[in-house]
Structure 1
Amino acid sequence: MEDLLKNHLFAAHAIAAAGSVTLGTAVTHPLDTLKTLIQVGAGSGKPLVAAQVLGGVRSITGDLGLYYGFGWSTLGRISGLAARFGVYELLTAFYKDGREDNYVHVSEALLAGIAAGAVEAVMSTPFELFKLRAQVTAAVHLPASSSVTANQVNTPVIARFMHGCTLDKKAWDHTIELLSPLSKKHPNMVSALKEYPWMLTGSGRPPAVYDVKRPLSIISLEGWNALWRGLRPSVVRDSIFCGVFFSGWQFLHIGMLEQKAIEMNPPPRSIEEIGPVSPLAASLAAGVSGSLAAAASHCFDTAKSRSQCTVVPKYVSIERKLLRWKQPGYWIERASGIHPSDRNYLFRGIWLRMACSGLASFAIVGSYFLSVEHLVPR
């Protein structure tokens, strides 16, 4: 009976957690889509504004375009938050071992959050890649005749290397013209050229990101390593985010407990006698901490988004390894995965991410407490 009760409690908490994450993602996904499009669309010209991006998405894919990639985002958040809170609770339990009070210092919450963020980044990076490429598709106008068979001659080799890519017919014809002075002893030179991956687009350039958005297409063209593209900025981003989030949340939580203790008569002798704070207060503390953490880690989020929005075929990655290609920039940029060309764009969309993170943290924590109150028997 005791084991059955424990299993019921675990299932209730798991359902409450998954439901709260889904709700938080649904509420904030349009903001995340606008933030992502501002980040990847940044250029040397005038910065994009949210109203401009919103109008572009609505004119191309309608209001539904704001929810492109919602499924991948939900899966990524569920797995990422499970890793984040699981590692954090494990480390803080180690810190609290042997103490009389169930108490965690702010510095300990910071260190535990940094470790939890690194694990979360590894878990959620592939889902974020799929989500980002789906979001980019929401702002791209695809002509009605852009089906796979409309403008390309599909060969088995092309289909094997890259599913769903549209051949650039004009660029391909231009390439054939440039190669026309070469010897034509080969019985079928055009078909032979199509056997090489770098000729898939007919121009030698990698395909557009919206043509390589499905998991099978990404793996077949870019390889399995592409699923963790942007991992370095993701690890730095999530480590900073979780460190600031948990330390800020713990700081506010301690302040609320002290305020609650002042109003108690007689004064409590330990933290256990104070009792928990209200769910609303905990949700507000989580929302404020989430906004501050998003501001502190936003530049690495931009670097991650711009890195994942780049298609790098497998043959290019192999060439870079053979040539021992090193990423340009200062050592701190190479270590954190920031490309030097992105220096002027690192803080684009910061207000949207702060609002998205704060609102998501508030919604997730609040709905979780509310769900647990109804699902878990007292």
Structure 2
Amino acid sequence: MEELLKNPVFASHVVAASGSVAIGTALSYHLDTIKTLIQVGASSNKKLNATQVLERVKSVSGYAGLYSGLSWLTVGRITSLGARFGVHEILTAYYKDGRIDNYVYVSEALFAGIIAGALESCLNSPFEMIKLRKQVAAAIHIPVPSSSISSVKSATAPIISRLLPGFIPDKVALDRTVNLLSVLSSKNHNLGEALKNCPWMMTGSGKPPDVTDVKRPQDIVRLEGWRSLWRGLRTGIARDSVFGGIFFGSWQFLHLAMLNWKAVGMDPPPERNDEIGPLSPLVLSLTAGFSGSMAAAASHGFDTSRTRSQCIVLPKYLAMERRLLKWTRPGNWFERFTGIHPADRNLLFRGISARMARSGLSSFVLVGTYFMVVDHLIAKS
């Protein structure tokens, strides 16, 4: 590994790849935030648009809220995109082995993209989960409690302090629940304090806490467990597999079309693709951006379903009950297989234009920046 890092060509590719991912993510992140909030805030009778989302974020956290969670996504994408392109290159190198013209069929590029996308989803899932929680929290106003810090700490039960430190229970909801249960016979004289020690009564109403209260990584792990970082993995694998297959398949198709276009008029006509010469970084960027938009449109339904599932707070004791009771997933066989909830059937295409724009811009900047930086560093070295 040390020898690879000392190799100037390998080091140039690493620096170019990391920098291009960071720049592409930063330039398109505001579109990702708009897309996420449109998906999360959508319902069957309510449809948000980009203007409403921008006004909401501006009123709650300012324009800086559009970039909430950027660092988490950047770190995750440097790892996951490296795995996506690396696995794709390894598989296509296997396909090209022994061929004279160094040729890769579109179907082979599509299959390699499907496998690479599945691996990308597994690596990027925890970072995407934390990023989404921070994006949603940036658009929701958190009221300041009127009680003092000391009284809040004294009123918080130990079970709540362990599961979600710093969480403030809803005293109004708890008092309402105590009044409803007071008509029943009970051996416990202090019903309110007893309910505080039940984990499912954290909020006082039996409902899980809001997503704004569970946005930090340590809070997610304490309340929802390590498995929650990979929630919606089945839908994520379906999304990234479709995205990777369409992206690399269409990119290979457009790449071959551009090579054939470049070969027109060459004398003598080239017998192999290597004789045509490489395409310019601008052409590669345009084809990658168009392929990214197409792949985003094809996989957007899975993206909406996963985004909405990751925004739901599911404490680990409820997840354990579902496993013990062998809870069956709702929906038809396709929805159960891909992880889509039937309640999201009419919402799967919300925010598709924002995601297409974000994927197209990110792919354009990523590929263009990568090739320009690599050419500059290699020529300089």
Length-normalised TM-score, structure 1: 0.95
The correspondence of residues 229-378 of structure 1 with structure 2, limited to 5 A, is: 229-377=231-379
- Pick closer, same or farther for the CA change 1:282–1:191 going to 2, 3 Å: same
Partner Cα distance (1:329, 1:349) in 2: 23
Partner Cα distance (2:123, 2:325) in 1: 30
What displacement does 1:3 show?
A: 4.6
Kept in 2: contact 1:164–1:217 (CA 8 A)? no
What displacement does 1:183 show?
A: 5.1
Whichever residue aligns with residue 71 of structure 1, its letter is: S
Partner Cα distance (1:131, 1:261) in 2: 45
- Pick closer, same or farther for the CA change 1:189–1:4 going to 2, 3 Å: closer
2:50 matched residue in structure 1: 50
What displacement does 1:7 show?
A: 2.4
Partner Cα distance (1:119, 1:127) in 2: 14
Match of 1:158 among 142, 152, 160: 160
Partner Cα distance (2:90, 2:246) in 1: 18
What displacement does 1:73 show?
A: 1.2
- Pick closer, same or farther for the CA change 1:4–1:295 going to 2, 3 Å: closer
Partner Cα distance (1:286, 1:162) in 2: 43
Whichever residue aligns with residue 244 of structure 1, its letter is: I
Whichever residue aligns with residue 303 of structure 2, its letter is: D
The correspondence of residues 131-170 of structure 1 with structure 2, limited to 5 A, is: 131-145=131-145, 149=149, 153-170=155-172
1:109 matched residue in structure 2: 109
Partner Cα distance (1:146, 1:267) in 2: 79
What displacement does 1:250 show?
A: 0.4
- Pick closer, same or farther for the CA change 1:13–1:148 going to 2, 3 Å: farther
Partner Cα distance (1:146, 1:298) in 2: 42
Partner Cα distance (1:148, 1:102) in 2: 70
Kept in 2: contact 1:92–1:108 (CA 8 A)? yes
1:98 matched residue in structure 2: 98
Kept in 2: contact 1:20–1:364 (CA 8 A)? yes
Whichever residue aligns with residue 83 of structure 2, its letter is: A
What displacement does 1:81 show?
A: 0.3
Identity value in percent: 59
Cα root mean square deviation, aligned: 1.9
Instruction: Count how many residue pairs are aligned between Structure 1 and Structure 2.
Output: 377
1:121 matched residue in structure 2: 121
Provide, for residues 72-92 of structure 1, a one-character-per-residue CA deviation record: whole Å limited to 9, x for no partner: 111121111011011111111
Kept in 2: contact 1:164–1:212 (CA 8 A)? no
1:15 matched residue in structure 2: 15
Whichever residue aligns with residue 106 of structure 2, its letter is: V
Partner Cα distance (2:134, 2:301) in 1: 22
1:198 matched residue in structure 2: 200
What displacement does 1:179 show?
A: 2.9
Partner Cα distance (1:148, 1:51) in 2: 38
What displacement does 1:135 show?
A: 0.4
Partner Cα distance (1:109, 1:180) in 2: 66
What displacement does 1:151 show?
A: 5.4
Kept in 2: contact 1:163–1:216 (CA 8 A)? no
Q: Does 1:70 align with 2:73?
A: no
Kept in 2: contact 1:162–1:221 (CA 8 A)? yes
Partner Cα distance (1:24, 1:348) in 2: 23
Provide, for residues 93-122 of structure 1, a one-character-per-residue CA deviation record: whole Å limited to 9, x for no partner: 111111112111100000000010100010
Unaligned 5+ segments in structure 1 are none
Partner Cα distance (1:147, 1:332) in 2: 49
Kept in 1: contact 2:178–2:191 (CA 8 A)? no
2:39 matched residue in structure 1: 39
What displacement does 1:32 show?
A: 0.4
Partner Cα distance (2:168, 2:138) in 1: 18
2:224 matched residue in structure 1: 222
Kept in 2: contact 1:148–1:165 (CA 8 A)? no
Secondary structure at the counterpart of residue 7 of structure 2 = helix
Provide, for residues 247-295 of structure 1, a one-character-per-residue CA deviation record: whole Å limited to 9, x for no partner: 1000010011111111322222211111110000000000000000000
Partner Cα distance (1:303, 1:148) in 2: 40
